[in-house]
Amino acid sequence: MKLQALAELVGARFLTGADQGEREVTRAFAADLLSDVLAMVREEGVLLITGTVTPQVVRVAEVMNMGAILFVRGKLPTPATVEYAAGAGVPLLATGKIMYETCGILYQHGVLPAKRKGLPMDHVPPNPAHP
């Protein structure tokens, strides 16, 4: 799906990268914890849906060669972060919708889940006894 179409579906506006409206994203990953993104996203060009608006979110998107960042819950990064993303070529979008609704809409319209990397803890049985 093109970023422009995606923005219209979830009522998002571009904070930067509006000229990248034709960029395609086919898969998305939603998380607020950055290490989860770094540990689990396998492919490149993935859309990151997040409520975390620190400068590090853009760094993570760069490290992982992600397609764009969509901020949810009306959260907005600082102008300095937007400027940094502009320089790094990472499109930023923002919507007032909550993460669940944003993901639901995009899923319904065919944006696929990102493939998840295997982790050591996948082999831990569910409900481990916590000390």
Which residue do the tokens 């400068």 mark? 55
CB atoms within 10 A of CB 24: 12
8 Å CB contact between 67 and 45: yes
CA–CA dist 20, 91 (Å, integer): 7
Q: Which is nearer to another protein, 2 or 65 (CB)?
A: 65
Residue 68 DSSP SS3:
strand
Binding site for another protein (CB under 8 A): 32-36, 38-39, 42-43, 50, 52, 54-57, 59-60, 62-65, 80, 88, 115, 117-121, 124
Q: Residue 118 CB, nearest distance to another protein (Å)?
A: 5
Q: Which is nearer to another protein, 22 or 128 (CB)?
A: 128
Q: Residue 63 CB, nearest distance to another protein (Å)?
A: 4
8 Å CB contact between 27 and 114: yes
Q: Which is nearer to another protein, 62 or 101 (CB)?
A: 62
Q: Residue 90 CB, nearest distance to another protein (Å)?
A: 12
The pairing of strands 13-16 and 92-94 is antiparallel
Q: Residue 21 CB, nearest distance to another protein (Å)?
A: 25
8 Å CB contact between 18 and 38: no
Q: Which is nearer to another protein, 34 or 93 (CB)?
A: 34
